[in-house]
Chain A
Amino acid sequence: MASPILRIENVSKRYGKKDVLKGASLTVHKGDLKILIGPSGAGKSTLLQCINFLVKPDEGRIWLEDQEVHYAHKRNLYAYRQKVGMIFQDFNLFDHLNALENVRIGMVKVKGMAKAEAGERAVMELERVGLKDHMQKYPAQLSGGQKQRVSIARALAMDPKVMLLDEPTSALDPELIGEVHAVIRDLGNNGMTMIMATHQIGFASSLASEIIFMEDGQILERGTPEKIFFQAENARTKEFCSKITELYGETR
């Protein structure tokens, strides 16, 4: 088997006395789509933010393509973050820039690309997420679904090796979830490697290569969607899955 694209070993995070993440490990191969599920406060978001060091883990090591990430070394960290795209629950678009500029700014200011060249690439990425006609609009003029698609285009423009998605549809109107899911599905079909936290288990089970159930800062169980949703071994996994299925509908 090829060597993993991303390897996370024993990552822990403590806030004061509270352990929010207790030694999570994860091995991700190219093209994998790992889905993190679990109740609020389980540590899904902390794990994702630890992966690109937006939250500094207290312990643990991370390798991208067999290169260990030394986050105390700033250059190393900034170079690594370019290769790890991040999608946030509340989009976090830059409010003073229009859609095109939002996508372009990382290429210009971080990669040092020329504005024109970066602009062309930004147009391409926005077309890819179906926002050809909205490129000049500012975040305040876009719907939630459109904003999230801009943020996906912004991440893609950096040519990431891995994408981290932190509940990308949780802040959206139900009607707008579909358009974002379509973009993510498309990414998956094109071989993008992704780790995504979500409660949309129907969507998750149709795409995921592995489902990871977290609770209380720990990974309790992992396996294929079939295993986790229908033959979970852990009682908590079963309970959580049955509740969430009731809430969000059938898994298939």
Chain B
Amino acid sequence: MPESLIAIKDALPYLLQGSLVTLIVVAGAMALGLTIGVPLAVGQVYGHPALRRVIGVYVWFFRGIPLLVLLFLFYFGLCTALDINLTAFTVAIIVLGLISSAYQSQIFRGAILSLPEGQFKAARALGMSDLKAISFIVLPQALRLSIPGWSNEYSILLKDSAVTYALGVAEIMARAHFVATRTYQQLPLYLAAGVIFLVLTYLGTRGLRMLEEKVRIPGYSAHGL
């Protein structure tokens, strides 16, 4: 067996453990982004003009600053300045989640705006408060429409998570780098890392595609299927 294959074989269990870390970071960030992103989108569509401006600034902030800068700002800057003791892993999830919330909010906002306005009116005409109409009528439909955009967001987050290696999070990239510099098998190891990312992207987007199909509203055609 050539040396490069042996290097990959030896490192594989170690790299796969890293992909578990990557997946937890990505899942945590997606979940945090969803939790914050939905209220942001609702606020931006239905909120008071002042609230909309505040949300606009939030979105601008987290979409405008590079990930690496934000990671350092939070981990080395804020955590030290405020004397908060957080692990690099936790900071990675929080920062990626906050950035993702800004992007996800725009996915949801677009989805909400694409719904026919009349349904919101009809819900209120039944006596629903705005909040009920949004929770039971608008969001169930908007979230369905958001799945394709969400699958984009997943693949971007997955790749961005490699940057958290700079904080020392033991994800795929950090581990590949660690082994590569010790064994001098750079090519096979970074290649292996790349392939793991490709597989994870495929599995995730495939899963979201299946979810999209599963929650499709009967009677609506699925284009291209």
Measuring CB to CB, which residues of chain A are less than 8 angstroms from any residue of chain B? Answer: 52, 54, 74, 78-79, 81-82, 84-86, 88, 90-96, 98, 105-106, 109-110, 137-141, 151, 154-155, 158
Contacts and interface: CB of A to CB of B under 8 A. Distances in A.
Contact of A54 (B125, B136, B144): B125
Contacts of A81: 124-127
Interface residues of B, number: 22
A109 B131 CA distance: 11
Contacts of A109: 128, 132, 136
B217 A54 contact: no
B140 A96 contact: yes
B119 A86 contact: no
Contact of A92 (B121, B128, B132, B144): B121
Q: Which of A54, A74, A96, A154 has the most CB of B within 10 A?
A: A96
20 contacts: A54-B124, A54-B125, A79-B127, A81-B124, A82-B127, A86-B122, A88-B121, A90-B116, A91-B118, A92-B116, A94-B122, A95-B116, A95-B220, A96-B140, A105-B136, A109-B128, A110-B128, A138-B219, A140-B219, A158-B127
B166 to A, nearest CB: 43
Interface of B: 116, 118-119, 121-129, 132, 136-137, 140-141, 144, 217-220
Contacts of A154: 126
Nearest to B125: A86
A82 B219 contact: no
Among all A-B residue pairs, the 3 with the closest Cβ atoms: A140-B219, A92-B122, A82-B127
Nearest to A110: B127
B119 A82 contact: no
A88 B140 contact: no
B126 A140 contact: no
B144 A96 contact: yes
A45 to B, nearest CB: 12
A138 B122 contact: no
Nearest to A82: B127
Given A54-B125, A110-B127, A110-B132, A94 B217 contact: no
Given A78-B127, A82-B126, A96 B132 contact: no
Contacts of A151: 122
Nearest to B124: A54
Contacts of B124: 54, 81
B76 to A, nearest CB: 46
